[in-house]
Structure 1
């Protein structure tokens, strides 16, 4: 999994600039490799397995004894932690709901950190992608949400998410920006010259 190259980022910026010429909306795009490192969850799973499995074996067979059981639990915990780190399987152990919750939180933090809530007329729009979670979200301020229903963005998000899963992140960004632009040009057309926020892709 690789983030976009410099030339690919320029293509995203060019797509944003083209759309913003025809709408009062301010688009910001954010791409994160991952929304969290999730270190605590693999450790939690390793701890649970290390406690339960040797304990269950000792209860059924009586093999270990007190000292042997303690050593078996420590060894299992350390071994599982090393296995998860070396194999890179951390994300596989994280429940989907937790991954999406973390990605959603990061998207909302970025909406604020990129000052999208301070645009004139409340016309800020964030297109957020977290690659590891295959998560895409579009967030808009009140100036857009009052004119365009949230359901309009759902098909754009669905299509973009499919492209992220296929490793076509650049294509997903460009297509999503153009699709959002079609809606924005119709409902939030350009009435003034402005460029309140940078057009470049923000990489986390």
Structure 2
């Protein structure tokens, strides 16, 4: 990693579950996501719909953070997920969901929300500080175990977090499935630890002109 000038964007945080303080219990299986008392704020019609989607909303949580940061809006997560489904960024096959598929998602974000969005199938970690310094935010593909910086997982990727800052020692992320008080907002991931989790791809977001009409 080359020299990094510290920069941290003050981006609002959103969890992929409506009750961020309950994430540890939900992930541990001690509480069903359907029993999240705030499930109705998600845009889901039923608790069962919320249960299905909540485990798959990391990308929508990242999008909400970016939209709030630049446009001051944060539409319900499952409302956004439905739009992404229609745009081909998700493909549902019964109880299986393929996605988030980066290229159609980037196209959707540009067309629907007026953000510059670029799918980067190859995104070296050393490029992320420069993008952040240019005013961008970066949805990065990491393994969910990044929340605890645990041992090397069997694979990398599978979960999206939002890179909001960088220092000489660390990447600073908002993790939609992080634990309250530990690894949610402005969580620090040392550059030396990142390669265990980072899949080397992501989606670069930035403002592009004016906010869409009607916001």
TM-score for the superposition, normalised by structure 1: 0.27
> Of the two structures, which has the highest relative contact order with CA contacts closer than 8 Å and spacing of 6 or more?
1
Higher helix share: 1
TM-score for the superposition, normalised by structure 2: 0.26
Bigger Rg over Cα: 1
